[in-house]
Structure formats: C-alpha cells, structure tokens
Amino acid sequence: MANEKRIPKRSEVPVEETWRLEDLYETPEKWEEEAARLAALPAEISAFAGHLADDAATLLAWFRKNDEVSMALNRFFGYAMKMADTDLGNNTHQARKGKAMGIMVAIESAASFADPELMAIPAETFEAFYAAEPALEQYRRAIDETLRHRAHVLSPAEEKLLAAAGEMAEGPSNIGGIFRNTDLKFPDVIDKDGNAHQVTQGSFIPYMESNDRDLRRRVFESFYHTWASHESLSATILNAHIKQLSFFANARGYNSNLEASLDRTNVPTSVYHNLIETVHKHLPTMHRYMALRKKLLGVDELHMYDLYNTIVADADEVVPYPQAQAAVLEAVAPLGEDYVNVVKEAFANRWIDVRENEGKRSGAYSSGGQWPHPYVLLNHKDTLDSQFTLAHEMGHAMHSYLSMHNQPETYAHYVIFVAEVASTCNEVLMMQNLLSKTTDRTSRAYLINHFLEQFRTTLYRQTMFAEFELKINELSESGETLTAVRLNEIYHELNRQYYGDGMVVDTEIASEWARIPHFFYNFYVFQYATGFSAAVALGRKILAEGEPAVKDYLKFLSAGSSADPISVLKIAGVDMTTPAPVDEALNLFDELITEMEELMN
C-alpha cells in the first residue's frame, strides 16, 4: 500500500502552533462590533470636507482623526485577512475579509477630498498654521509628501471616483489568489517505491530540495503541466491587473506604470533600471555557479528541477521548529538584549502561525503595523530553508515593532522599498553565525551552498522577475494583449539569459510566471534584490564594527517613514542610488563560489 503524507486540516493543527488573534479581537463578535463602529466613520470623515483650510485647529483635528482611523483599520482588516489566510476555502472567513475591504474602501472614498484640499492651501497658510498650532509640526513631512504628488492629484470628484474604483481594481489580484491557493489542484506523484506524494503550493519547493532526482522531475512536471493547463486563465487575470494599473497611472498623469508605482514611495525609477543593468554585468558569475552545480551534481545535463537540492552530499539536516527558534535567537544576539527579548516574546506568545494546513495561504509573510504587535505566517517544513524563513520574517516583524514603538502613527509604517532590508539582514547574520562555528569542510560547504542559493533566488531571480514585470508592463502600455504564448516566450528567454547556455531551460518553466503572486504587487519584487544587497552590506558592517554599526542599524529600523526611503537607508550607511551595494554583494557571491570550488575539490 502506498504511503501518503497528508496535509492536516486547520482544526487538526495544535493550538500552540497557531497565532493568537485574540490579541486583536477577543472573539469574532467583537470584530463585528468594530465593523459597525467603523461603518459609521465615513460620515465623521466627510464632515471635514471643505474645512481643512479653515484654521490650524481643524487641520490638526483632521490629521489626528486620520491617525485614529489608520490604527483602527490596520487592526480591523488585519484580523479579517489573517483569519482568511489560514483557510482560504472557509466562506465565513472570506466573507469577513470582503466586508472589511468594503468598509475600508468606503472610508477611503469618504477621505478622498483631503489631498485635493491640501493641494489648494497656499504655502504661506501652512506656515501660519504651523506657527499657530505647534502640534501640527508633527505632520509637516506628511503634508510635504502630499504636496509632492500635486501634479498627480485630481479634483475632489475625480478622486472620489478613483477611490470608489479601488475595490473593483482588486478583482484580478483577488481572483488570482483564490485560483492559485484554493481552486488549483495538482495530481499526486508516485515515487519509484510506490509512495504517493501530495503536491501543493507549499510542498513544491521542499520536493525540489529532495535528493531523489526522479521524484524532483516527476513533481516538477506534475506541477508545471497543471499550471500550463490553466495558463490562458492566468494570462487573462494578469493582463487585467496590468490594465487596471495603466488606468490609474494614466488617470494621474504618470508616464508609465513603473513611474506611478515607485513614486508612491519616492524611489527614483533609475534605481530599478540600475539594478537590472548591474545584475546583467554579473550574469557570467551566475553562469559560473551553474557550471559548478552541474559538476558537483555529476549530471550530464542540468535541468530546472536541479536548482534547489543541495549539491553537498550527506549534509542535509532536519531542523525542528524549536531548533530553528534557538538558531534565530543566537543569530540576532549581536543586535542587543532588547531586540532579542522581543523576539523571545513573539515565540512565547503565539505571534506566529507555524505549519501548513489545507487551504492555508502558501509562502510566508509578516503582517506588521497593527497594535499590539506584528504577526508572522509560516509554512514551516523542518528544513534549513525554513529556519532562514523564520529569521527573515522575524526581521520584518522587528522592523514593524520598532517603527511602531518609536514613531507616531503617521510615520510608523515603513515603505516597501526598505521592507526587505531588515528581513534579509537577519538571514545574513544567521549565515555568518553558522559559518563562524563551522570548520568541518562538508558542513561549511553545505552552508555556503545555502548562501549561494540566497544570492541566486533573491538577487538574481528576483531581478529576473523584476525585468519580466517591466517588460510585460511596457508591452501592455504599448497596446499589446498579454497572451499566455507571449508571456511564456518572454519568461523562457529570460531564464535562458540568466542561467546561461550550460542549463537546460525546460519548456515547463515557461509557465512559472503564472504561479508568482508578486506580479500582482505592482513592481514589488525588485526590492527583494535591492534589499538583499543592502542587507549584505549591513550584516557585514554590524559584525565587523559592532556597537556603532548596531546603533545606526537600530535607528534605521526605528525610523519608519520619517524620511524618504533612500535617506532612511543612508542612516544605516547604505546608498542605493549607486551600483555599489549590488556590486559588493555580487562580488561576495563570486568569492563564495571560489571557496565552494576549493572545499569541494
């Protein structure tokens, strides 16, 4: 009889491995009470319309109301989202999330008058208001940020219309998410011993890490043949998403979807292009790594299903969740006792949802910004990779925690450009800690292999994703419909370019774009690569310089959005407007390949 490892139902997951959402609302009924209260807010908000320029006291009251609403919505929507993400097939959870979205859109629509009104206030009036009401100084940067977008803010009526279209605009992303995580099912794979293996979004990468090459190939084909059988639907959903991006970008007078997306966080488009150009310069190093992987695996051909398994024999290890927690605490110890104590609190008080269950959202994330603390979703698999994922997500959580506790609500939420720095810095600290304790050649090679894979998957692969996203947006903006055939063609060619001629770029990989949810996040993925580059520099700086570097780094983590993201990163000592951080990271990648060659010689 074939054995099958079954994914548990949500009700079967031990309580201690689930997050404690009672910290947000004691019961769903309490959430419903809050929903009723928030549903009345649009009327309160609308009362400010036409009065922001009346006097300093009114303007201050508006911003304080805005903070109050922001804090309430983060908690309110956060609860609904987390409940939904733990079981995407639960209709009650999905209805709650839909209700939360409707209330949020109603509030945003009611508040849509604010930016146009602020735009109309003369500069000298603002200065008079600051003098009359010193408490308004807290909001000066927020006001300046609003005025920075003056050219892209429309009339009050037009802004209200765009805000009302927000819920509809989420349609492609929501449809894609439900399809990928709930409706799409993959055939079981039978291995050479007759054992059945359940293939899911969450189990795919662990299978790709298996040392059973035949199993990897079978899972790879089952997975991507399934994606290919639905690729026309996936292409239609992605095409609709990009069309709505263009609608909003054009309505606001931006030259491109890229410009509109990056302008929200005040990041120059040159940073995006600079990343792609710099990584292209270092593609020969990636090709060299693929040649080393092929040699160490001892295969005649290197396939796409040969990318995730370890190339160091007999060094793979099982990492139980408690061991992963201990490793994270040891890795972040250089950041100080206060930092470590908060991480301990997160582990002890169920800030984390640990295991995969049926219907649970795939992947991992940290949900920060809501009081009393951030939350982390995992799909822990007792692997070294899962250990690093825990470190990564706790980096996000600590960034949120420190920003929330050191900034007023207006600036408590860091922007996405810096979002991946703290998370990846934790991974760098963990890797350096593990390497510092390892003298055994095989163990050291195993760790370096993992570090090399971080470079491949985070810096190179995310840049490839960023280039794909840029290309398809530009094609859509030029009037081309994004068909599955066209998307496959672009994606397959990029894989060939990034991995080189020494890699067999299997035809199945052409459909991989369909499974990547980040293409619905509006030019998000490039920040994984820039964040990784900054994190490599910061991690090495912390370990080399000690307390002074730690002090600057904690200032960065505590800064939130109190300055533009380029300036915030400079607090920690990194300038992402130059190629230097990316060059430095990829030079280290080259050095690690050399050490790997020597260890495995």
pLDDT in tens, 30-41: 999 999 999 999
Q: Show me where the domains of the chain are located.
A: 10-165, 173-312+461-518
State the pTM of this model.
0.80
pLDDT on residue 166 = 83
First to last CA, the chain: 43
The answer on pLDDT for 23 being more than 90 is yes
pLDDT on residue 2 = 39
pLDDT on residue 415 = 87
Per the CATH hierarchy, to which homologous superfamily does domain 10-165 belong? Oligopeptidase f, N-terminal domain (1.20.140.70)
pLDDT on residue 547 = 93
The answer on pLDDT for 524 being more than 70 is yes
The answer on pLDDT for 1 being more than 60 is no
Query: pLDDT tens digit string along 385-398?
Result: 899 999 999 999 99
Q: What is the mean pLDDT of residues 411-421?
A: 90
pLDDT on residue 208 = 93
**What tokens does 42 get?**
């649009």
Query: pLDDT tens digit string along 95-131?
Result: 999 999 999 999 998 998 998 899 999 999 999 999 9
pLDDT on residue 183 = 85
The number of residues making up the chain comes to 601
pLDDT on residue 315 = 64
Write down the residue that tokens 């010689």 correspond to. 601
DSSP letter string, 433-468: HHHHT---HHHHHHHHHHHHHHIIIIIIHHHHHHHH
Who's near 378: CB < 8 A, 6+ residues apart? 352, 353, 354, 355, 364, 386, 389, 390, 393
pLDDT on residue 151 = 85
pLDDT on residue 316 = 66
- Give residue 4's pLDDT band: very low, low, confident or very high (50, 70, 90): very low
Q: What is the mean pLDDT of residues 283-295?
A: 96
Query: pLDDT tens digit string along 535-583?
Result: 998 998 899 999 999 999 999 999 999 999 999 999 999 999 999 999 9
The CA distance from 493 to 487, in Å, is 10
- List 356, 393, 420, 508, catalytic entry: 393
Element (H, E) at 589: helix 580-599
Per the CATH hierarchy, to which homologous superfamily does domain 173-312+461-518 belong? Oligoendopeptidase f, C-terminal domain (1.10.1370.20)
393 catalytically annotated? yes
* In contact, 379 and 321? CB cutoff 8 Å: no
The answer on pLDDT for 153 being more than 90 is no
Average pLDDT, the chain: 92
> What is the rounded (10 degree) CA torsion for 531, 536, 537, 541?
130
